[in-house]
Structure 1
């Protein structure tokens, strides 16, 4: 009877149409997540006029949205390890689609805030599940680049939101942007038909026929059968509830807390820029279209940072690449606070995109790969959830700075602080205690033919 090492099959596989299908759906989901998240900052100048909001009130609404994302990451992201990542992704897409549409119909700021908060629950829960599935199914030789490329969907979505804002918002209004968020709901039936469930989810439930079917798609030449003896690297017991305490077991505690600080730093920078960049540039003397062009450049920089960073991660590892990006980011923000030349501003904004969202896009697979498969989604979702503290503080902190006598561009100086904090926290990640395919728990054997699926 043949023994099949499932993780090895995936790790040694060649990228094929199955991997492409998983990639495209993950890219699609992340793109609309990025689109939906970027809407607030892009529509903010006109929305403030429409609702008569002050800078402080606008910052507060942005923070309430990010509280929703934090709760979504905890509640829905962690639940993915219990009911399946495919179901969670479908639920999250439906939530943020429906309530983004309703936010665009809101007659007053209170209704808008409530609808936006509920939509944010879906946004927060989607990200960890997508990253975990993509990490799980990616061939090992280009895993970091594949996940980083997939995560560029977030920046593509933000760029599309910027382009629509630049060319259509003045004529169609800011509400039109939110109405477009309903598109993922229309494609949900096709997603449910085509997207595979996580292999580790099937493994924990001993669903042998489904495991064989997936492995035959991963490696069509394998000819895997239900009678094969599948060997797994994961723990023997099915996870019950949300195994958060496991994030601190096996000497993972220091690294777990370090990841929380790293992600908090990244998200503070990302959401501070997403929320206030157009308004900062308006304060510096640029018109609405010109100020939105900086958001467009920011998105391009995010993509460049993700792709270049992913390329180098596959060659020299996450730690070195992330250290360089955090350091470069801090220097970039200091320069932005004292630069007035427009071309140089565009260059620095692009670099800041690479060193904020681009960095976070590399941190996500780093965190996901650190934890063993059975708690991978929980590890990432809790880390991102805790990290939302940084994103929640960002709109309020930058909004407060904009009410002071400081020149608007000097607010960029505040972003250098979390960049330095992230760099220091990275030094405390203990990679030797993380999950690797060479150092695993005792393998689990079963014969799929003896188990009902």
Structure 2
């Protein structure tokens, strides 16, 4: 039995949950940093007298970095290993977050936010790829959605930091706390193994065999296998054009449109949410309270998506959650009472973040091992361009006198469009081997 087959036949065990927590905590720290800028913006705008357009630029600067980081880190992960790149990108964005607390003017903050985004954009697709390559096929969707659920925990942490520290200690305190995840790099070095599929793709058979043997022993599985010397192989250079050639052309088109649309809607809504609430007449503290309540709805959204994704499939779950999120965004835009804002905002968080969990499940499944991180990184990078545009566009719309309802009608149309794209162009990958799907 070959090593990949042995890996896929290892039942769900303590190892898989330990890997989920190890990668998930890195994911949580990413989300905490992303959430912090949303909560910092209202206080920063007041302290520095920023215009809506300048606030949009701050949100977009990090997303420019995420686009660059996603591409370069995806390439690096396929060449140098998932584990190394995971640790390096986490360290980069943690240090850069601390530097944001030392920013002395608008321009310096833009530079530091770019560096934060570079690290964030590199870490996310690499972590998802690593978890994907270790998850058994029947439970792969559940594990990736659960990995994405740590994003909700990170946003909750950001909301709590904002609520407890910003009103009393200033916006700088939030960034200094956001630098603490740098210490987690030492945990990654000890707790996270290199991808078995990556090792095999590089001809490192003995290392892959050792890892799989240890997993089998821990799970009580026996398999007969005698490792042979790795074959001398020619390293095939990853070409960008390959993403747009059969059999990947349709998959790439679908993923790029999906990523662009969901990132555009997510960052356009959630980066601005505390500021939009403040613009509606709520105090900063009251706005933080409302957003904290809405953020709590993210976790059950992830868990419901984790339940459905391996039962009704990736396409159906993703399209359902995107369409429901669109409906909630429309309701939120036209809500005219605090209770209605909370209800529609919570539903928007529930379905939008549940959809995100499926996106991170679905994306790595559509490419083979040798280009999995590269293809996933490019999809994420294209998405970041949507995120770059969204905060700036919302800023210009608000600066030009656009209504609250008009902003959310735009996001409603965006999410309905990408739901239709998934239904038309998407392929179902539920419970299939990664090799069966990708080639």
Residue 291 (structure 1) aligned to one of 276, 287, 290 = 287
Deviations 1:284-328 (A, max 9, x none): 121112211233233323222221112111101011111111211
The question of 1:353 aligning with 2:349 is answered yes
| Distance (whole Å) between structure 1 residues aligned to residue 434 and residue 268 of structure 2 | 40
Deviations 1:422-450 (A, max 9, x none): 1121133252799942864999xxxxxxx
Q: For residues 58-97 of structure 1, what are the structure 2 equivalents within 5 Å? A: 58-97=55-94
Shift of 1:75: 0.9
| Native 8 Å contact 1:298 1:349 kept in 2 | yes
Superposition CA RMSD, Å: 2.5
Corresponding residue number in structure 1 for 2:305: 309
Corresponding residue number in structure 1 for 2:17: 20
| Distance (whole Å) between structure 2 residues aligned to residue 358 and residue 345 of structure 1 | 20
Corresponding residue number in structure 2 for 1:148: 145
Q: For residues 151-190 of structure 1, what are the structure 2 equivalents within 5 Å? A: 151-190=148-187
Number of residue pairs the alignment of both structures matches = 437
Residue 407 (structure 2) aligned to one of 402, 407, 411 = 411
| Distance (whole Å) between structure 2 residues aligned to residue 441 and residue 253 of structure 1 | 14
| Native 8 Å contact 1:100 1:119 kept in 2 | yes
| Native 8 Å contact 2:204 2:230 kept in 1 | no
The question of 1:250 aligning with 2:263 is answered no
Shift of 1:360: 1.8
2:297 is paired with a residue whose SS is: helix
Q: For residues 368-379 of structure 1, what are the structure 2 equivalents within 5 Å? A: 368-379=364-375
Corresponding residue number in structure 2 for 1:450: none
Question: What TM-score do the two structures reach when normalised by structure 2?
Answer: 0.93
Shift of 1:368: 0.9
Shift of 1:214: 1.3
The question of 1:338 aligning with 2:334 is answered yes
| Distance (whole Å) between structure 1 residues aligned to residue 366 and residue 261 of structure 2 | 19
| Native 8 Å contact 1:144 1:313 kept in 2 | yes
Shift of 1:224: 6.0
Question: What TM-score do the two structures reach when normalised by structure 1?
Answer: 0.90
| Distance (whole Å) between structure 2 residues aligned to residue 187 and residue 362 of structure 1 | 26
| Native 8 Å contact 2:365 2:438 kept in 1 | no
Corresponding residue number in structure 2 for 1:227: 226
Gaps of 5+ in 2: none
The question of 1:137 aligning with 2:122 is answered no
| Distance (whole Å) between structure 1 residues aligned to residue 242 and residue 70 of structure 2 | 17
| Distance (whole Å) between structure 2 residues aligned to residue 431 and residue 237 of structure 1 | 31
| Native 8 Å contact 2:2 2:225 kept in 1 | no
Corresponding residue number in structure 2 for 1:198: 195
